[in-house]
Protein backbone atom coordinates (compact mmCIF):
# COMPACT_ATOMS: atom_id res chain seq x y z
CA UNK A 1 0.00 0.00 0.00
CA UNK A 2 2.88 2.38 0.81
CA UNK A 3 4.45 1.76 -2.58
CA UNK A 4 1.15 2.55 -4.36
CA UNK A 5 0.78 5.87 -2.43
CA UNK A 6 4.37 6.79 -3.25
CA UNK A 7 3.85 6.14 -6.99
CA UNK A 8 0.53 8.00 -6.94
CA UNK A 9 2.13 10.96 -5.13
CA UNK A 10 4.99 11.10 -7.67
CA UNK A 11 2.51 11.02 -10.55
CA UNK A 12 0.64 14.05 -9.14
CA UNK A 13 3.92 15.94 -8.68
CA UNK A 14 4.96 15.07 -12.22
CA UNK A 15 1.65 16.37 -13.62
CA UNK A 16 2.09 19.64 -11.71
CA UNK A 17 5.64 19.97 -12.98
CA UNK A 18 4.62 19.32 -16.60
CA UNK A 19 1.75 21.80 -16.34
CA UNK A 20 4.03 24.53 -14.98
CA UNK A 21 6.69 23.74 -17.55
CA UNK A 22 4.12 24.00 -20.37
CA UNK A 23 2.90 27.38 -19.06
CA UNK A 24 6.35 29.05 -19.00
CA UNK A 25 6.51 29.88 -22.74
CA UNK A 26 3.08 31.48 -22.53
CA UNK A 27 4.21 33.67 -19.65
CA UNK A 28 7.30 34.87 -21.50
CA UNK A 29 5.44 35.39 -24.77
CA UNK A 30 2.87 37.65 -23.14
CA UNK A 31 5.61 39.68 -21.39
CA UNK A 32 7.50 40.21 -24.64
CA UNK A 33 4.37 41.33 -26.46
CA UNK A 34 3.58 43.90 -23.78
CA UNK A 35 7.06 45.44 -23.92
CA UNK A 36 7.00 45.80 -27.71
CA UNK A 37 3.65 47.60 -27.48
CA UNK A 38 5.14 50.04 -24.96
CA UNK A 39 8.09 50.76 -27.26
CA UNK A 40 5.73 51.60 -30.14
CA UNK A 41 3.83 54.09 -27.97
CA UNK A 42 6.95 56.02 -26.90
CA UNK A 43 8.06 58.85 -29.18
CA UNK A 44 11.65 58.79 -30.38
CA UNK A 45 14.10 61.45 -29.22
CA UNK A 46 16.55 63.02 -31.68
CA UNK A 47 19.70 65.12 -31.37
CA UNK A 48 21.16 67.20 -34.20
CA UNK A 49 24.83 68.00 -34.79
CA UNK A 50 25.67 70.97 -37.01
CA UNK A 51 29.21 71.22 -38.40
CA UNK A 52 30.72 74.16 -40.32
CA UNK A 53 34.16 74.58 -41.88
CA UNK A 54 34.94 77.94 -43.45
CA UNK A 55 37.65 80.54 -43.88
CA UNK A 56 38.34 83.47 -41.58
CA UNK A 57 36.51 85.85 -43.92
CA UNK A 58 33.16 84.21 -43.17
CA UNK A 59 31.51 86.37 -40.52
CA UNK A 60 28.28 84.69 -39.29
CA UNK A 61 26.98 81.18 -38.65
CA UNK A 62 23.23 80.73 -38.14
CA UNK A 63 21.52 77.55 -36.99
CA UNK A 64 18.14 76.48 -35.60
CA UNK A 65 18.14 75.44 -31.93
CA UNK A 66 15.89 72.84 -30.23
CA UNK A 67 13.18 75.49 -29.69
CA UNK A 68 13.08 76.27 -33.42
CA UNK A 69 14.76 79.66 -32.87
CA UNK A 70 17.59 80.99 -35.02
CA UNK A 71 20.94 81.32 -33.21
CA UNK A 72 23.73 83.48 -34.63
CA UNK A 73 27.43 82.93 -33.91
CA UNK A 74 29.88 85.71 -34.84
CA UNK A 75 33.32 84.72 -36.10
CA UNK A 76 36.21 86.62 -34.51
CA UNK A 77 38.37 86.53 -37.64
CA UNK A 78 39.85 83.03 -37.48
CA UNK A 79 39.23 79.99 -39.66
CA UNK A 80 35.96 78.36 -38.65
CA UNK A 81 35.81 74.78 -37.44
CA UNK A 82 32.45 74.98 -35.68
CA UNK A 83 30.36 72.14 -34.22
CA UNK A 84 27.30 72.22 -31.94
CA UNK A 85 24.79 69.58 -30.78
CA UNK A 86 21.19 70.55 -30.04
CA UNK A 87 18.26 68.59 -28.70
CA UNK A 88 16.21 66.82 -27.81
CA UNK A 89 13.92 67.41 -30.78
CA UNK A 90 11.06 65.43 -32.30
CA UNK A 91 10.42 63.84 -35.66
CA UNK A 92 9.53 66.52 -38.21
CA UNK A 93 12.03 69.04 -36.82
CA UNK A 94 13.58 71.21 -39.55
CA UNK A 95 17.35 71.55 -39.14
CA UNK A 96 18.82 74.71 -40.72
CA UNK A 97 22.42 75.93 -40.83
CA UNK A 98 23.92 78.75 -42.90
CA UNK A 99 27.15 80.72 -43.23
CA UNK A 100 27.59 84.22 -44.69
CA UNK A 101 30.54 85.09 -46.89
CA UNK A 102 32.87 82.92 -48.91
CA UNK A 103 32.08 79.31 -49.79
CA UNK A 104 31.84 77.04 -46.74
CA UNK A 105 31.22 73.39 -45.95
CA UNK A 106 28.18 72.58 -43.81
CA UNK A 107 26.98 69.25 -42.50
CA UNK A 108 24.03 67.89 -40.49
CA UNK A 109 24.15 64.63 -38.52
CA UNK A 110 21.32 63.17 -36.40
CA UNK A 111 21.09 60.74 -33.50
CA UNK A 112 17.88 58.82 -32.71
CA UNK A 113 17.26 57.43 -29.22
CA UNK A 114 20.91 57.79 -28.13
CA UNK A 115 22.30 55.94 -31.15
CA UNK A 116 25.54 57.19 -32.73
CA UNK A 117 25.25 60.26 -34.97
CA UNK A 118 24.56 59.45 -38.61
CA UNK A 119 25.25 61.63 -41.64
CA UNK A 120 22.08 63.22 -43.08
CA UNK A 121 23.11 66.11 -45.33
CA UNK A 122 26.04 68.25 -46.44
CA UNK A 123 26.36 71.31 -48.62
CA UNK A 124 27.64 74.81 -49.11
CA UNK A 125 26.70 78.02 -47.35
CA UNK A 126 23.10 77.03 -46.62
CA UNK A 127 21.73 73.63 -45.66
CA UNK A 128 18.46 72.20 -44.36
CA UNK A 129 17.20 68.75 -43.40
CA UNK A 130 13.86 67.62 -41.95
CA UNK A 131 13.96 64.66 -39.54
CA UNK A 132 11.70 62.03 -41.10
CA UNK A 133 12.84 58.64 -39.82
Q: For position 13, what pLDDT does the model report?
A: 74
Question: What are the residues whose beta carbons fall under 8 Å from the beta carbon of 49, sequence distance 6 or more?
Answer: 83, 84, 85, 108, 109, 110, 111, 117
Q: For position 80, what pLDDT does the model report?
A: 93
87, 108: one domain: yes
Mean pLDDT of 26-43: 58
Please say if the pLDDT value at position 20 is more than 90. no
Instruction: State pTM to two decimals.
Output: 0.69
4, 56: one domain: no
Share of the chain above pLDDT 90, in %: 64
72, 37: one domain: no
51, 88: one domain: yes
Number of domains in the chain: 2
85, 20: one domain: no
Q: Which domain holds residue 108?
A: 46-130
Question: What are the residues whose beta carbons fall under 8 Å from the beta carbon of 45, sequence distance 6 or more?
Answer: 87, 88, 89, 90, 112, 113, 114
Question: What are the residues whose beta carbons fall under 8 Å from the beta carbon of 106, sequence distance 6 or more?
Answer: 50, 51, 52, 97, 98, 99, 122, 123, 124, 125, 126, 127
30, 85: one domain: no
Higher pLDDT, residue 12 or 106: 106
68, 122: one domain: yes
54, 115: one domain: yes
Please say if the pLDDT value at position 16 is more than 80. no
CATH number, domain of 107, equals 2.60.40
Dump pLDDT digits (tens) for 77-128. 899 999 999 999 999 999 999 999 999 999 999 999 999 999 999 999 999 9
Please say if the pLDDT value at position 34 is more than 80. no
- The number of CA neighbours under 13 Å toward the Cβ of 21 is 6
35, 62: one domain: no
63, 112: one domain: yes
86, 104: one domain: yes
70, 122: one domain: yes
Amino acid sequence: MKIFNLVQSNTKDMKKFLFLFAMLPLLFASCAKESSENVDKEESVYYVKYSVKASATNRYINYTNEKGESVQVVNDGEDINFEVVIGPVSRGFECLVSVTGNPAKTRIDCSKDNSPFAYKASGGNSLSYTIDY
